[in-house]
Structure 1
Amino acid sequence: MAQQYIYQMQGLTKAFPGGKKVFENIWLSFYSDAKIGVVGVNGSGKSTLLKIMAGVDKEFNGEAKAADGVKMGYLEQEPHLDDQLNVWGNIISWCEEKKIFDRYNEVAAKLGEDYTDELMEEMTALQEKIDAADIWDIDSKIEMAADALRCPPNDWPVDNLSGGEKRRIALARLLLSKPDMLLLDEPTNHLDAESVAWLQHHLEAFPGCVILVTHDRYFLDQVTKWTLELDRGKGLPYEGNYSGWLEQKTKRIVQEQSESEARQRAMTRELEWVRSGAKARQAKSKARLAAYDEMVREQETSRLAQTTATIQIPPGPRLGNVVLEVENLEKAYGEKVLFKGLTFKLPPNGIVGVIGPNGAGKSTLFKLITGQETPDAGTFRVGETVKLAYVDQSRDALDPTKTVWQEISGGLDVLAVGKREINTRSYVGSFNFRG
């Protein structure tokens, strides 16, 4: 029996205001049990693709639609919760199985008080659904998912939770809703290693289709069996995981470079011919001029598509012997102790990873180092030659009213990067920002 398509795109074309095309005439079909990783440079349209598939973005040409009766599940990068519900209420709000089980208990209680044939028939029907779905232990399954994803306590309100805590609740809610197709935009963000491992096993066993966007290459390798590359407006499917795709992509780049060099040599020859003043009125000359114009357009398209970011970090001032020294650090929030007796030194030129489960105090440690929080006890010593730079999770320091160039350049045409002065628009462009 042929595999069924769960979703199809026919001539999908998407352009942003200003005319920049993200997708151009994409034709794709998705199997009902496919596990697909979406890859591409920043700005290639990975999140936009998921928004279109989820029905959130409807501003496109062509067709993009799920098969009849398909239940879609979408995890966006900044999901929304119901502030009127607590943690538990949000987690179970999309879980139809929980609603069936709760209704069964409600009907059973009513039958104990006042027996009616109608209630008995409803209870029998509900029992058959529970048996068929094997959800007599649904509360235990929900608790297991919430615990695996490190969700906050069930009775906590959600309006004051961090962005990471809200994402974990939204992910638990989504998985428990049991959709036919999962669209996951950076699902491993804000998950610790154990939670990522649990999610990996869950997705491997998931019977439906998974479309996954993540920068976690190991996670991609373990979960996906297909890779969809978004490149210059096209959707290029590859049967295999991320490592397999990367190997063939490397070979393709070498081939494209060879073709580009050959095209450049041909353009040089044609340019010499054009400058020689050949009679353009002749049919052959007109055709040759048209071919030259086409090569110019291809070369320009190829040039604009060189989207690999070139990020250069200039060397800073010479560091002294003291970079950061912490001694007997203590920090607690109420009864929850994060650090006690923490002592360490950072070496010059050291590259240090901070690991630990959610809630262990990783972000708090950064806030202590940068002076945004004060320790309960202990001392910090930052070297005199050390200049701190800090990027937080919330991006609150960014001004949403400014363009990317204005935010980075401060309106200046030239920036000092280390000991060099560079054009700000070139600098912004090196991070693949355009426009």
Structure 2
Amino acid sequence: MAHEFIYTCYKLARHYPPDRTVLENISLSFYPGAKIGVLGANGAGKSSLLKIMAGLDDGYTGEARLTPGFSVGYLAQEPQLDPSKDVRGNVMDGVAAVQGLIDRYNEVMAMWGDPDADYDKVGALQAELEDKIAAADAWSLDRNVEIAMDALRCPPDDADVTTLSGGERRRVALCRLLLSRPDLLLLDEPTNHLDAESVEWLEHFLSEYHGTVVAITHDRYFLDNVAKWILELDRGRGIPFEGNYSSWLEQKQERLAREEKASDARKRTLERELEWVRMAPKARQAKGKARLAAYDKLQAEAEAADRGPDKLEITIPAPKRLGDTVINVEHLRKGFGDKLLVEDLSFSLPPAGIVGVIGPNGAGKTTLFKMLTGQEAPDSGTVTVGDTVELAYVDQSRDSLDAEKTVFEEITGGVEHMKVGNREIHGRAYCASFNFKGSDQQKLVGKLSGGERNRVHLAKLLKTGGNVLLLDEPTNDLDVDTLRALETALENFPGCAVVISHDRW
């Protein structure tokens, strides 16, 4: 019997003590085979929703249930691997059930050589297993594993997973999950640490995927190419839109225009009611109480509307003036062992430009940044840094953040007045320039979403006030609105910015 929905939420809410609400009264049903992109500001509850749907968080109220008979698989932002197994062993965990069919089939085939076997029973077992193997495409298991591992640029089969980088761990975990083929696939930022070719392969894989896909991602091309529905999380609400990212933008613009019109009408009504409240105190008897109650309700609605999301802005500190010579690279060569990463590379950075660095994973992009900063020495060639250059390097690692500190303490060092470049500014104002305002500055870093941690990382490392920015995958885990704010900040930056990014928008 076909089911109408694969997953259902009814009046779902998620509150975090003491008074933080990320999901409020969400009632949604998910169609089998639907491809859904989840959007919302950092901290809006996107990851919380996926954890609830994956069965990993039961601290919610309301209903959240997977329809019986369906399976669910989940890619976390920081997935776990089995440290006792190598890369290949972890990937094969995703196809353990399919491998079990092959192993059982081989056992049954061996029974044909047993003179005491019940051949009718053996034949029936063989036929049953052949049907299951064909349905699971198990005859092509090894080939499918090789294709997926190659497409996602997984490390070598025998690599020790305890030595992998965060990006390598994510690619192994993603490969394992995709090969397991659950009915409901929950993906939290699946394109992070994937190069453009891997993302294109993933887009095709998910577009053809038999099951339901619910993906949180900042990759706007990915949302355009894969998603047929957009679920926006906004101030605790879940707002579904039918269509891809581009059509969602159009529909959201229309919705915001309607909300603004309703807000204007509500304000006019409030003004009239406020005038009545002030001018007719004697009328506040039995007949006036209903009107006063209506006024209180209108006031509450207006305040709720006014608590809508602020316009996101990121301010990169103004740097010292940059001279004509920025960084000149001549005939650079770099390799590790037998692997050559860079050969005869020469370029000069412009004084006021934004330079993008692209290439597949493992091509040497991060190694290039480390040579520019002096952390790695080239095998040959020269790197000349101009006399006026002050470098600010934002790497991919978020491991240096202290989970026990507040946002304010981590960014500013706990001082009210801090030095940013050569200027002294108010620490709380600097935090606010990265959209950490009011009580947000008192949140513990360990309680932040991935995108919020990335903003802390950016703010912390950019406070040096460098006039040449080296940004290694700065868009990872950022929501779409924050991405736009970062793009605007870079466009307005008077120095030079060099950006490694797989964001194709």
**TM-score past 0.5 threshold:** yes
From 131, 138, 144, the equivalent of 1:135 is 138
* CA 1:378–1:202: 2 relative to 1, 3 Å: same
**2:282, 2:113 → 1: CA distance?**
100
Deviation string 1:50-84 (CA, Å, 9 cap, x unpaired) is 11100111110011010001110111111111111
Contact 1:36-1:212 within 8 A present in 2 as well: yes
Deviation string 1:318-376 (CA, Å, 9 cap, x unpaired) is 11011111122222111111112211111011101111111001111122222322222
Contact 1:41-1:307 within 8 A present in 2 as well: no
Judge which range, 90-99 or 422-431, deviates more.
Answer: 422-431
The question of 1:230 aligning with 2:257 is answered: no
* CA 1:228–1:378: 2 relative to 1, 3 Å: same
**2:389, 2:107 → 1: CA distance?**
64
The Cα shift of 1:139 comes to: 0.6
Judge which range, 424-433 or 22-31, deviates more.
Answer: 424-433
Deviation string 1:353-412 (CA, Å, 9 cap, x unpaired) is 111111001111122222322222222222222222222212123122211121122222
**Aligned ranges for residues 62-101 of structure 1 at < 5 Å?**
62-95=62-95, 96-101=97-102
**Aligned ranges for residues 27-106 of structure 1 at < 5 Å?**
27-95=27-95, 96-105=97-106
Judge which range, 44-53 or 121-130, deviates more.
Answer: 121-130
Contact 1:41-1:308 within 8 A present in 2 as well: no
* CA 1:370–1:18: 2 relative to 1, 3 Å: farther
* CA 1:216–1:234: 2 relative to 1, 3 Å: same
From 189, 192, 197, the equivalent of 1:194 is 197
Contact 2:111-2:117 within 8 A present in 1 as well: no
**1:233, 1:416 → 2: CA distance?**
37
Contact 2:408-2:428 within 8 A present in 1 as well: yes
**1:188, 1:153 → 2: CA distance?**
20
State the superposition RMSD in angstroms.
2.4
Query: Counterpart in 2 of 1:394?
Result: 397
* CA 1:26–1:112: 2 relative to 1, 3 Å: same
1:353 aligned counterpart, secondary structure: strand
* CA 1:371–1:105: 2 relative to 1, 3 Å: farther
Contact 1:86-1:157 within 8 A present in 2 as well: yes
Deviation string 1:270-328 (CA, Å, 9 cap, x unpaired) is 44444446236423433333333333322322232224322123432211011111122
**1:325, 1:60 → 2: CA distance?**
55
Contact 1:7-1:30 within 8 A present in 2 as well: yes
Contact 2:75-2:187 within 8 A present in 1 as well: yes
Query: Counterpart in 2 of 1:250?
Result: 253
Judge which range, 152-161 or 93-102, deviates more.
Answer: 93-102
The question of 1:362 aligning with 2:352 is answered: no
Q: Which letter maps to 1:305?
A: G
**1:415, 1:287 → 2: CA distance?**
53
Query: Counterpart in 2 of 1:162?
Result: 165
The question of 1:203 aligning with 2:206 is answered: yes
The question of 1:20 aligning with 2:9 is answered: no
Unpaired stretches in structure 1, ≥5 consecutive residues? none
Judge which range, 237-246 or 372-381, deviates more.
Answer: 372-381
From 197, 212, 217, the equivalent of 1:214 is 217
TM-score, normalising length: structure 2: 0.80
TM-score, normalising length: structure 1: 0.92
Unpaired stretches in structure 2, ≥5 consecutive residues? 443-505
Q: Which letter maps to 1:99?
A: G
Contact 2:45-2:233 within 8 A present in 1 as well: yes
The question of 1:384 aligning with 2:387 is answered: yes
**1:18, 1:8 → 2: CA distance?**
28
Contact 2:235-2:309 within 8 A present in 1 as well: no
**1:139, 1:109 → 2: CA distance?**
21
Q: Which letter maps to 2:155?
A: P
The Cα shift of 1:120 comes to: 3.7
